[in-house]
Amino acid sequence: MRVNARVLIDGPSELVFDYAIPVGLDVKPGCRVRVPLRKKSSIGTVLSVVSADQFEFAVRELEALIDPEPLITPVLLKTADWIANYYGCSIESVIRSVLPESVRTEEHSARTRRIAILAKAVDPVTMERLEKRAPRQHAILTLLGAATDQQLPVADLGEGNSASLKSLEKAGWIRLEIEEIRRDPDADGVEEILESKPLDLNEEQQRALDEVLSAVADPEHAKPLLLLGVTGSGKTEVYLQAARRALDLGKTVLVLVPEISLTPQTVRRFKARFAAMQQEVAVLHSNLSQGERFDEWHRIRKGIARIVIGARSAVFAPLPDLGLILVDEEHENSYKQDVVPRYHGRDVAVLRAAFEPCAVVLGSATPSLESWHNCESGKYQLVRLNQRADGQSMPLVRVVDMRLGSGKHKGAPAILSDKLRTALEQRLEKGEQSILFLNRRGFARSLQCHACGHVCQCPHCAVALTYHRTDERLICHVCGYQSIVPRKCPECRDPGIAMQGYGTQRVEEVLSKVLPQAKFARIDADTMRRKNALRDTLNAFKAHKTDVLIGTQMIAKGLHFPNVTLVGILNADLGLHVPDFRAGERTFQLLTQVAGRAGRGDLAGEVIVQTFTPHSPSIQYARRHDFDGYSEQEMEFRSQFSFPPYAHCAVLTARSTHERRAEFTLQTLHHRLAENTPAGIVLGEVLPSPLVRSHGQFRFQITLRSMRARPLTRHVQAVLAKTTLPDDVTVVFDMDALNFS
Ligand SMILES: Nc1ncnc2c1ncn2[C@@H]1O[C@H](COP(=O)(O)OP(=O)(O)OP(=O)(O)O)[C@@H](O)[C@H]1O
Ligand SMILES: [Zn+2]
């Protein structure tokens, strides 16, 4: 049987062609090859090897095989194929995510240097002779003899030595070799990390570890594990010990975190536990240089780096002998990619684990309802940690109804209730620390005219501009548009234009007046632009150089400060009133996570939640740290309306600078989607997106729901394939969408 290679050509346009495989060449899927394309030669990746018998026309032969062994393992190729089908995107787009550009193209290569190695001990007589007749050779041998491992880079042996080196090599005293050197992302050695020792696990942790280890031992028969552990229950310690055991068994370990830059403490705890095997740990940041990425990728592929920590895209790390995947904070939305391919890192991790097979653990104090549902239906296995690790109690949460105080300060809402203010003062007196959380950066939300009600809006996006005090500017938080602050209302010329709402910057200003003796630090997207700003601010807080940390959701994740005894949530309602059926779930998660930052040391913690809707279930259940209670009532609502996790929900969006064309295109698609709709698919109406205009483009959307995912994706793909879209309209399909704006 003749076979062809189906090859994805590397380049800006996604081209896939078949090429005949020359006799005697062992071409496997996942290898890169050199192929003729038009008059040039190009690089491509072999997607599959297909029978050539059904081809009536002759195809060209491929020119050469670049990698004798596949760059993409069979499991990852299978995963890529699944992603393309499930999310309705091209296999090309997925391969581009699986193989980083620096590895795929031939522009990058390993960095090398020449080294000289002493081949055998040189006797004193020879040395003496050389000293007189060939002082350079003598000097080289002396240097090598004193060096560690008796080897040195040629560059370190001084210039103009090539003749001497050659003579020494010829005489058999030394060997000259080429060595690959790693471009080490940590080379500038920012901070030294001390090795941490494993802790004695409590009973719950031990049981959880045993479950993970039995899955590592027999992954074929194990289900994905959902580790539901309250905040501070010691999930990380379980991860660390499970990882250690998997490594001891000769397996490799993959750790996924929501965002590397926002989880510095988690990353550091892994680095500290595995400090003795530093070379075997790879941290995949988004800010690695291409060369560093190339090196880390090959170190992982060769099995040198055996434990990989990274965000979403690290799920494609080419670890051989994968034994365990850990997905920390599995409920985080940042696991879903919001550009093509729109995959969910957690779901892909579960799938890869099944293909490998290997164990997979999803951990959270507030699991997504999707994962919770998978436990209820028996797809996943639930493991719980109900107690805080070293016996501390969960913090006491008080809810303050801000509606009562709102009459006093007409216009400007009170930022700080009396309760929270008193609590802050008490902490300062006792030398304890506090965290204040507000999920909105900037100074004030918006500028509104009291006379005509006009709100200053972004001209490109349908959102109000946010006032930023430090630069005296109005900034759009969607597209970054900036404008000056008007002195009069641009609409009616009234000078009574004023701030509505408030952000973190305003909180800092007000608080410095109320508590002049306290030292504040602020963490949000505005203050954290500088490299290492987050790390430095957190370190200063840890060393108690600051008393109060004010921040947005950037401080909600994984922070552990034993001296923090008070957490204040300034406006718990901010995420609640957005047009998204997950608004309540997100608010519950965020409040529970933020509240969990309090009382993590020997001192008891207190949380004060300020809200205008004190009876909302998200707030009431978070107050009691009651995931079961929250999920029970929320799941009932989801089931009643067939929302996820009881159905898959996808969004089809059309956007264009021409409003009518975007709407018309989507209506045409709607019309076609409504013909022969497979049973079980619920097709929504064409509606303006909640964010009707963004970056100057008008947006319309259709929501689709279905019990089964594949028929939905297939139906939409079929309709898109036979519809010619106008050039100036972009249509986007998002399966299992998390963002409905
Ligand atoms: N068995 C143990 N004995 C004593 N202390 C422990 C034990 N396990 C964990 N700890 C400590 O308890 C604290 C909280 O643990 P950890 O941060 O791992 O919890 P977590 O569940 O990951 O928390 P979160 O979800 O809130 O980030 C840490 O200081 C950790 O060192
Ligand atoms: Zn904008």
H, E, C per residue of 251-300: CEEEEECCCCCCCHHHHHHHHHHCHHHHHHEEEECCCCCHHHHHHHHHHH
411 Rama class: left (phi>0) / alpha (psi -120 to 50) / beta: left
Q: How far is CA 98 from CA 77, 237, 257, 306, in A?
A: 9, 30, 18, 18
Q: How far is CA 434 from CA 521, 549, 600, in A?
A: 11, 6, 12
The answer on pLDDT for 119 being more than 50 is yes
Other CB atoms within 10 A of residue 300 CB: 23
Share of the chain above pLDDT 90, in %: 51
Binding site as annotated, residues for Zn(2+): 449, 452, 458, 461, 476, 479, 489, 492
Protein residue with its CA nearest to atom 7 in ligand 1: 389
Could you give the CA distance from residue 94 to residue 337 in angstroms, rounded to a whole number? 12
**Phi then psi for 548, rounded to 5 degrees?**
-125, 130
Instruction: Specify whether the CB–CB gap between 510 and 438 falls below 8 A.
Output: no
Protein residue with its CA nearest to atom 6 in ligand 1: 389
DSSP calls for 361-378: EEEESS--HHHHHHHHTT
Write out the H or E segment, with its range, that includes residue 75: helix 74-87
What tokens does 315 get? Answer: 């799920």
What tokens does 32 get? Answer: 């890169």
The answer on pLDDT for 408 being more than 50 is no
Predicted local confidence at residue 237, as pLDDT: 97
Could you give the CA distance from residue 241 to residue 311 in angstroms, rounded to a whole number? 21
Every domain of the chain and the residues it spans:
3-104, 111-181, 203-385, 396-443+502-624, 648-734
Share of the chain above pLDDT 70, in %: 95
Span 231-246, mean pLDDT?
96
SS3 47: strand
Q: Is 62 in the pocket of ligand 1 (CB under 6 A)?
A: no
Q: Which ligand is nearest to the CA of 465?
A: 2
Average pLDDT of the chain?
Answer: 88
366 Cβ contact partners less than 8 Å away, ≥ 6 residues apart: 331, 588, 589, 592, 593, 627
Question: For ligand 1, what atom is nearest to the CA of residue 201?
Answer: 1
Domains 396-443+502-624 and 648-734 share a fold: no
The answer on pLDDT for 647 being more than 90 is yes
pLDDT confidence band for 189 (50 / 70 / 90):
low
Write out the H or E segment, with its range, that includes residue 307: strand 307-310
Which residue is it, tokens 């690089």?
43
Could you give the CA distance from residue 152 to residue 114 in angstroms, rounded to a whole number? 9
> In a mutational test of the pocket of ligand 1, which residue from 390, 435, 555 has the highest number of ligand atoms less than 8 Å from its CB?
390
DSSP calls for 462-522: SSB-EEETTTTEEE-TTT--EEEPPSS-TTT--S-EEEES--HHHHHHHHHHH-TTS-EEE
Which residue is it, tokens 């536990």?
273
What tokens does 293 get? Answer: 């990425």
Q: Is 473 in the pocket of ligand 1 (CB under 6 A)?
A: no
Helix 709-721 × helix 659-674 angle, to 10°: 120
Predicted local confidence at residue 441, as pLDDT: 66
Q: Is 599 in the pocket of ligand 1 (CB under 6 A)?
A: no
Helix residue ranges, H only, 343-407: 345-355, 369-376
Nearest to 520 by CA among 398, 629, 438, 576: 438
Return the sign of the alpha-carbon dihedral for residues 48, 51, 55, 59.
positive
SS3 236: helix
Which value does ipTM take for this structure?
0.96
Q: Which ligand is nearest to the CA of 464?
A: 2
33 pairs with which residues across the strands?
Answer: 44, 65
Question: For ligand 1, what atom is nearest to the CA of residue 597?
Answer: 26
Distance 437 CA to ligand 2 centre (A): 25
Type of residue numbered 668? T
Question: Model confidence over 24-58: pLDDT tens digits?
Answer: 889 999 999 999 998 889 999 999 888 777 666 77
Predicted local confidence at residue 407, as pLDDT: 41
Span 515-520, mean pLDDT?
93
Question: Model confidence over 560-577: pLDDT tens digits?
Answer: 888 999 999 988 887 776
Q: Is 537 in the pocket of ligand 1 (CB under 6 A)?
A: no
Q: Is 389 in the pocket of ligand 1 (CB under 6 A)?
A: yes
Fold of 648-734: Alpha-Beta Plaits (3.30.70)
Q: Which CATH class is domain 3-104?
A: alpha beta
Write out the H or E segment, with its range, that includes residue 120: none
Question: For ligand 1, what atom is nearest to the CA of residue 365?
Answer: 25
The answer on pLDDT for 372 being more than 60 is yes
Q: How far is CA 608 from the centre of its chain?
A: 30
Return the sign of the alpha-carbon dihedral for residues 73, 74, 80, 83.
negative
Return the sign of the alpha-carbon dihedral for residues 639, 641, 645, 647.
positive
Predicted local confidence at residue 500, as pLDDT: 66
Could you give the CA distance from residue 590 to residue 671 in angstroms, rounded to a whole number? 40
What tokens does 398 get? Answer: 């008080």
What tokens does 656 get? Answer: 């264009």
Binding site as annotated, residues: 449, 452, 458, 461, 476, 479, 489, 492
Instruction: Specify whether the CB–CB gap between 362 and 329 falls below 8 A.
Output: no
Which residue is it, tokens 């994805």?
8
The answer on pLDDT for 160 being more than 80 is no
Fold of 396-443+502-624: Rossmann fold (3.40.50)
Q: What is the pTM of this model?
A: 0.86
Distance 240 CA to ligand 1 centre (A): 11
Peptide bond into 341 cis (omega under 30): yes
Question: Model confidence over 583-638: pLDDT tens digits?
Answer: 889 989 988 988 888 888 888 889 999 988 888 899 999 999 999 999 999 999 89
Assigned superfamily of 203-385: P-loop containing nucleotide triphosphate hydrolases (3.40.50.300)
The answer on pLDDT for 235 being more than 70 is yes
Q: Is 232 in the pocket of ligand 1 (CB under 6 A)?
A: yes
The answer on pLDDT for 485 being more than 90 is no
